[in-house]
Structure 1
Amino acid sequence: MNVIKKEAMETSAEAQRQRKVTSTHAGSLTSSSNVKESKMVGFDDVQLQLLDWLTGGNRNRQIIPIVGMGGIGKTTLARHIFEHALVKEHFDIRAWTTISQTYNVREALREVLHQVSGDLRSDLSENELGEKLYKYLCGKRYIIILDDMWSVEVWDKMRFFFPDYNHGSRVIVTTRLSNLATELTNSNRIGMRFLDDVCSWTLFSKTVFGDEVFPLQLEEIGKKIVGKCKGLPLSIAVIGGLLAKSELTLEYWEHIEKNLSSIVNSENDEYCLMLLKLSYDNLPPYLKPCFLYMGMFEEDERIKVSKLMRLWVSEGFLKPIINKSSKTIANEYLKELVDRNLILVHELGKLGNIRYCKMHDLLRDLSFQEAEKQRFYYVLGQHCPRGINSQRRIVIPRSTSDKTARDALETMSRARSFICDGDTVSQLPDFRFLRTLSTYKYSGEYLDENVFQLVNLRYLSARFREGFQIPSSISLLWNLHTLIVSCRGKRTAPVEIWKMHQLKHVEFVYENMYLPDPPSGHSDVIMENLETLNGVIDFNLNEEVVKRIPNIKKLEIIITDKVMDRDRVKCLSYLQCLSKLESLSCFSDYGSEDKYLQSISFPHSLKKLSLHCGYFFHLEEILEKIGSLPLLQKLKLLFGQFATRSWEIGEGQFPSLKYLSLNFCRDMECWTLEGTCLPRLEQLHLEDMESLEEFPSEIGEIPTLKSVVLLNCSESMGLSLKKIVDEQEKLQGDPSIHVLVESDNVSQQLQTLATPNFRVVKGSLM
């Protein structure tokens, strides 16, 4: 027994060592900027009080406001509570939505409904969304966070859709308005206070130096700087972010302190803005336009990072660096702004990359004010002022009326950028200098074909009418590098698109598009810059096409059930010739695509793969090929079947895989792992894998595995996974795997086994 105990302890120690090593080498962008959480210092007592109110004995639905000025930590506290293990265990359903000043009740209800049920439908009215939400919440104990509320009218419109059946449900509201909190409830409320000197210093130290020792020679000047921040967490975080990226010299810190001393305005919001402006003033020149550009987005908007970076490129903000791509440079700029706490990481991808970012309201206000002073861009309000024709960047928010927008457009002939978040007009004037045109996101009308005559365009994202065909004149857009087209109905792109060698990113969204074969006689035109090609139907890959797109990195193709000739059926074998391809998504209908997929061959450069297979496609035929890919980090499989009813992952397969998702893959009854396969797996997601009865015990021996999600899988799978978690707890004291088991048919036995690390949810949580 002593020998066994000794071996178990050695195994546990080795596993912990490997986890530390793995977390140290987590990729180019998985730095502190990506994964760092907002630091909450000095509010332990407030958090305990809030947890007591949330999980206490009161069975009625309660509203709990968190009140305080901008930047004082309301959202940070709510986020910590939302992710707290006790809250996850206590409530059946958790959901979060941001309201903001320019609120939209329908969008808020849609966001909550999506989180509680997975329903993404956008064609429902406000009442229909509310009724559907009410039905999902009935009989469940829920917690809803309504972040950044400015008007009680929002709650008056939403309250009827949050049922109160004495289950102990809670609604947390964060707001800057004390009178609003009083209108919402006359009982429990949290009033956020400024940090005291000790907590302010702790937060500042962690922000600047992390866990390192604070240099003795900088302590005195550091405390003076912290004192000027007046206990406001956002100010401390932003100033700390500035100093963390700057010279660690006494002279520089004294310079910062001197500038802080010149800010004498005592009005809190204005004072905070002036304090934050110091961080903007000290930005390197190449980062200032990137920061100012953030003010163009709507308040509290989730900003898609890939879109943001492409806009930065089209606006010419990126400073060229030898041997670095524009995407790499843009990633470095974003990372630096995040490290300075000027941009917030909102959502990470499965591999740790930043997918969405946001801005704090005060920092957005600062960006907006500075941009206005410098005439960096112009945001059109409800009136069209004189002199607008001299503006270079025009932003039309959703709140601007159609008539005002149409009137303003007539006088914007010198504009270089046109960003429209509302319903745009269909006909644009002669924007002969226009370089950036983005109207796709919220556009309710359709853009006319004349946009394809704007020869200086670099970035075009627009929605077009049903039946629209891209004209052959698109080849006149000789400088276009991003093309995003949305229209109903399957259409064919013009053959002239193959002549546009400047194109970097091409996306056909909504109903996708056919791409014709390259024209004969123009084999000398190589699209050497093309990196992204999404939404192409029945892409006819062949030797000629492969030569035209040698540097493609991301490819999304859709396979239909139309009959193809013998040569075309084998076209997916040419994928292996795309030596730079990193991300491949392949979606197929039911039918003849089985033959289409059987010939598929993958390049060794592949890092992300998503396959939507036919219902009867034999997965064994393709999984052996996939398992040998040396760089593959993310794999998603949808549909298909295991004809042998088993999946055996052999020794050394999937050497780099971090994320594995199996959805509706039929008939897999047995799953075995051999040797050192899946050595870097971090996340495992299984959905509707009802035939699989038991988890392979070797899963618990993968040192890097952090989370497992089971959605609508068999009861026995959940029980076998619980045994693995319990075994880890015996060996290590604290299991490294966090598990979520969710199903409409969760038994009472499985629910009694729930712990903070093994969550069991009956019904839909996602």
Structure 2
Amino acid sequence: MQEKKARERLCDSLKQVAEEIDRVQEESTQYKAKQSSEEYFVQASSSAKVIMNGKNNMVGRRDERERMMAELTRGFSGELKVIPIVGMGGIGKTTLAKEVFNDAFIRSHFGVRAWATISQEHNVKDILVSLLHSTKEKDDTVNTEDESKLADMLQKSLKSRRYLIVLDDMWSDKAWDDVRLCFPSENNGSRILLTTRNTEVACSAGTTNMSLPIGIMCPVESWGLFKSAAFVNEALPTEFETVGKQIVDQCQGLPLTIVVVAGLLSKSKRTIEVWGSVAKDVKSFFTNDPDEQCLHVLGLSYNHLTSDLKACLLYFEFFQEDSEVSVKRLVRLWIAEGFLKLEGDLEEEAKNRLQDLVDRCLVLVSQRSADGRKIKTCRIHDLVHELCLREAQSQNFLFIRNDKTESVPRVGSRWISIQKSRKTGVEFQDEHWFRSLTHKLCWLIRTPTDDDNSPLRRIRSIFLFAAPSLSNNSNLELCHLNVIRVLDLSFSSFPLQILSLFLLRYLSFSTRNSFGIPGELRKLLNLQTFIVRGPVSSFIKFPELIWEATQLRHLKLRNLYLPDPPSSSIDGERNLF
């Protein structure tokens, strides 16, 4: 009896301690939130960057930020809570989520933080892999596990830890239902933050009374955001203020529209005439549909790009929607495609092109290096994706083939992207499905013709996404693609047909097997980048003749045997790795 009373007293004491900790924690949240806002954060979207002033403080959204900080950090105990941020596209949901996610106080409050972008066509495995990459030490074997194993791994990695999970851009209840059981609830103050345009999703997934609606910016906030983006670290000349406010008024308080216009003006000749012309254009786009108006403004910014910048931006359509793209990969692809002048340091020039697109708010920065100076990965906003897809297809640059399209490339198409719909949980491992998808494409490639009206006459690049192991890609008979510059496919062994593609500059393929690279690879005199992706067990052997491939600058493989170069062939400027 005495032991029972002692346990009850101990329990009461512990509850009092927890309540006192919660009280102190809540009182200090606001102060520390303001203090930590001065901290630099490594991961930041481009939208977040332009909504920051010189001190890295967010322009506007103070009330929303303070409420979010309070909800996230209220208490060291308590059940798991789901907090939705709700609002239209381009309103700043992701920017706000990034701001609090990278806050120094938030980093110290939660033992683990993880972020996943859901996208309109979600894939459960992609979501789980993204989260696991944040919650576990880097482990490449994660990519090879099935969904049930990944779900179990994620739950175990979060168990007994206070965590913050961000699920960005959730479009449907199903996406939430597919992953919600992976998140343990242990009364330790863990939080899930999700962003969505759909109020029904917010009501279904969110904890009662926890939704945070994001509305349009007020005129004062809109003007502050515009000035920060158009005149970074500069005072706004008086003569530009009147026309600038006219432009901002037409943007209807939508942050994405504001920063895109400001980015355009920051790169334009600074004259009243130019600003007046832009103001006239923006006014002509006025509509009661903010999304439609934003698309018009994005189109205006796109039309002001040089031809090489247009090509660089449209190239993002090669990748699946909402994909984070490695800057190293993107730069090498741009160079291989010939988007840059063949002079000087091409990689540095490509990075300058990327920075230009970032400054114009057309490309979002996903991750930066530890010192914040270099962009590691990037992506484009949903609305920019919509614009680029429309432009790429109208100009017949890009043909996308997936399990929802049965057409073939039109005459003159230059890029082919073969994609697996993310809605389908089944991976690309079913060769029957792959053959049905590419049957007509294979037939076109196998049928050599000198006809200028051949759909594949001008194909310069082919990408195959989500295909880890396929054995019959040899059916493509690549030798007929005589102007191809970029190939990213999947093979069980090295395809000898590639050796006849003399204009090839970028070669990347997936494999599950070990094999040797033929010495004839040296015949590809224009090859600059060679990448082989595969499991840890795969082993690639290179012959000594590889050193005669004089243009080869980038070599990336998991396990390889690379012979020592002959002393006469050592080139100090190469970057083989």
> Does the residue aligned with 1:299 lie in a helix, a strand or coil?
coil
Which runs of no fewer than 5 residues in structure 1 stay unpaired? 1-31, 516-539, 557-766
Q: Paired residue for 1:407, among 440, 445, 454?
A: 440
The residue correspondences of 1:366-765 to structure 2 (distance < 5 A) are: 366-381=387-402, 382-385=404-407, 388=410, 390-399=412-421, 402=434, 403-412=436-445, 413-414=456-457, 415-423=459-467, 425-427=472-474, 428-429=476-477, 430-439=479-488, 443=490, 448-464=495-511, 466-486=513-533, 489-507=538-556, 509-515=557-563, 540=564, 544-545=566-567, 547-556=568-577
Distance 2:492 2:88 in 1: 39
1:343 matches 2:363: yes
Distance 1:35 1:233 in 2: 10
> Do the aligned residues in 2 keep the contact of 1:462 with 1:486 (CA within 8 Å)?
yes
Confirm or deny that 1:287 pairs with 2:305. Answer: no
Paired residues of 1:388 and 1:411 also in contact (CA < 8 A) = no
In the alignment, the residues of structure 2 paired with residue 291 and residue 184 of structure 1 have an alpha-carbon distance, to the nearest angstrom, of 35
CA distance 1:491–1:92, shift in 2 (3 Å): closer
State the distance in 2 between where 1:291 and 1:165 align.
45
Which of 151, 167, 170 is the aligned partner of 2:191?
Answer: 170
More RCO (CA 8 Å, sep 6+):
2
CA distance in structure 2 between the partners assigned to 1:76 and 1:160 by the alignment: 27
Counterpart residue type for residue 408 of structure 1? L
Aligned counterpart, 2:84: 65
TM-score of the pair, normalised by structure 1: 0.61
Alpha-carbon deviation of 1:365?
1.5
Closer, same or farther: CA 66–215 of 1 in aligned 2, 3 Å: same
Secondary structure of the residue aligned to 2:516 is coil
For the Cα contact (< 8 Å) 1:238–1:340, is it kept in 2?
A: yes
Instruction: Provide the residue aligned with 2:73 in structure 1.
Output: 55
The CA distance in 1 between the partners of 2:107 and 2:542, in whole Å, is 49
Supply the distance in 2 between the matched residues of 1:205 and 1:176 (Cα, whole angstroms): 27
State the distance in 2 between where 1:97 and 1:289 align.
28
Aligned partners of 2:120, 2:59: CA distance in 1, in Å?
28
- Between 181-190 and 303-312, report the one with greater CA deviation: 181-190
1:306, 1:355 within 8 Å by CA — same for their partners in 2? yes
Query: What is the CA distance between 1:241 and its match in structure 2?
Result: 0.9
The one-letter code matched in structure 2 to 1:146 is: L
Which residue is 2:284 aligned to? 262
Taking the aligned partners of 1:465 and 1:131, their CA distance within structure 2 comes to 25
Q: What's the TM-score once normalised by structure 2's chain length?
A: 0.80
> Partner of 1:510: helix, strand, or coil?
coil
Q: 1:475 to 1:89 in 2, by over 3 A?
A: closer
Larger strand percent? 1
- Find the aligned partners of 2:409 and 2:178 in 1 and give their Cα distance: 41
Which residue of structure 2 aligns with residue 136 of structure 1?
157
Matched, 1:332 2:352: yes
Equivalents in 1 of 2:397, 2:268: separation in Å? 26
Measure, in 2, the Cα distance between the counterparts of 1:36 and 1:50. Answer: 19
Task: Return the offset for 1:84.
Answer: 2.1
Residue of structure 1 equivalent to 2:130: 111
Q: What whole-Å deviation, never above 9, does each CA across 1:465-504 have from its counterpart, x for those lacking one? A: 5242222332332222222234654443234323322323
**Kindly, what percent of the aligned residue pairs are identical?**
36
Cross-structure match for 1:678? none
**Counterpart-to-counterpart distance in 2, 1:497 and 1:91:** 49
Query: Could you tell me how far 1:187 is from its partner in structure 2?
Result: 2.3
Aligned to 2:94: 75
The C-alpha deviation readout for 1:257-302, integer Å capped at 9, x for no partner, is: 1111221443232221111111101112221111111122112211
Larger radius of gyration: 1
Instruction: Kindly state the Cα deviation for residue 551 of structure 1 after the two structures are TM-superposed.
Output: 2.9
Aligned to 1:310: 332
Task: Work out which of the residue numbers 357, 362, 365 in structure 1 matches 2:386.
Answer: 365
The count of corresponding residues between Structure 1 and Structure 2 is: 493
Name the aligned partner's letter for residue 53 of structure 1.
E
The whole-number CA distance in structure 1 between the counterparts of 2:254 and 2:383 is 12
Is 1:242 matched up with 2:289?
no
User: Structure 2, unaligned stretches of length 5 or more?
Assistant: 1-44, 53-57, 422-427, 446-455
For 1:80, what is the secondary structure of its paired residue? helix
Q: Tell me the equivalent position of 2:42.
A: none
Is contact 1:300–1:360 with CA below 8 Å preserved after alignment? yes
CA RMSD, 1 decimal: 2.4
Which is worse superposed, 193-202 or 253-262? 253-262
